[in-house]
Amino acid sequence: MDKQIIVGITGASGVAYALRLLDCLEEAGCHVHLVVSALGRRLLGDEGDVHALTAENLIGRPSERLYFYDFDDLHCRLASGSFLTDGMVICPCSSNTLGAVAAGRADNLLTRAAMVTLKEARRLILVHREIPLSPIDLENMLRLSRAGAIICPAAPAFYTNPRTIDDLIDFLVGKILDLLSIDHALKNRWLG
């Protein structure tokens, strides 16, 4: 069966990672359920030139596998564990959302879906981006890691000899796809 993946986009820098992730997940045949915070929408415009949430704007083509949800709609299927998914990625993940999930807050669809993912013991991947990290961020990460989440900082490596920004983006997106057990051909491996 095709995978069902929730993607949350929050107001951290790095929406280019999210756009490539959506592209790759959709291309891999996944059903992608997208929730974007208010600040995520602002940064999609500022950094990604995406001013309206449509498949064409996000991945450059129409899609029947990309589903859009209202950030405030706590009454929709993603708010319940009865809707079966294969996991959730928050990419990029702000310190604000990191802290909200670590505190168990569920007052918007993005954090509620994250809480559901954790309680159902499904894959929750937080692609956090902020530097430097405060002790509060670090404690939130440890708390979430102990609760079963995967903290995957937006920190691409250089052992693949990246030449372009796209190479760096692909490295990180390849890592996220690996964590979701989704096949891909992105260049992110050290082959010795």
Ligand X SMILES: Cc1cc2nc3c(=O)[nH]c(=O)nc-3n(C[C@H](O)[C@H](O)[C@H](O)COP(=O)(O)O)c2cc1C
Does 41 interact with ligand X (rule: CB under 6 A)? no
Does 111 interact with ligand X (rule: CB under 6 A)? no
Does 12 interact with ligand X (rule: CB under 6 A)? yes
Q: Identify which of residues 62 and 132 has a Cβ nearer to ligand X in the complex.
A: 132
Does 96 interact with ligand X (rule: CB under 6 A)? yes
Does 179 interact with ligand X (rule: CB under 6 A)? no
For the chain, what is the HEC assignment? CCCEEEEEECCCCCHHHHHHHHHHHHHCCCEEEEEECHHHHHHHHHHHCCCCCCHHHHHCCCCCCEEEECCCCCCCHHHCCCCCCCCEEEEEECHHHHHHHHCCCCCCHHHHHHHHHHHCCCCEEEEECCCCCCHHHHHHHHHHHHCCCEECCCCCCCCCCCCCHHHHHHHHHHHHHHHCCCCCCCCCCCCC
Does 95 interact with ligand X (rule: CB under 6 A)? yes
Q: Identify which of residues 86 and 137 has a Cβ nearer to ligand X in the complex.
A: 137
Q: Of 4-12, 59-67, 168-176, 180-188, which part binds ligand X (CB under 6 A)?
A: 4-12
Q: How many C-beta atoms lie closer than 10 Å to residue 98's C-beta? A: 26
Total residues contacting ligand X by CB under 6 A comes to 13
Which positions from 115 through 134 interact with ligand X, judged by CB under 6 A?
Answer: 129-130
Does 57 interact with ligand X (rule: CB under 6 A)? no
Q: Identify which of residues 13 and 57 has a Cβ nearer to ligand X in the complex.
A: 13
Q: Of 73-81, 93-101, 118-126, 162-170, which part binds ligand X (CB under 6 A)?
A: 93-101
Which residue in 4, 5, 6, 10 binds ligand X (CB under 6 A)? 10
Q: Identify which of residues 123 and 129 has a Cβ nearer to ligand X in the complex.
A: 129
Angle between helices 15-27 and 165-179 (to 10 degrees): 60
Which residues are near ligand X by CB under 6 A?
A: 10-13, 37, 39-40, 94-97, 129-130
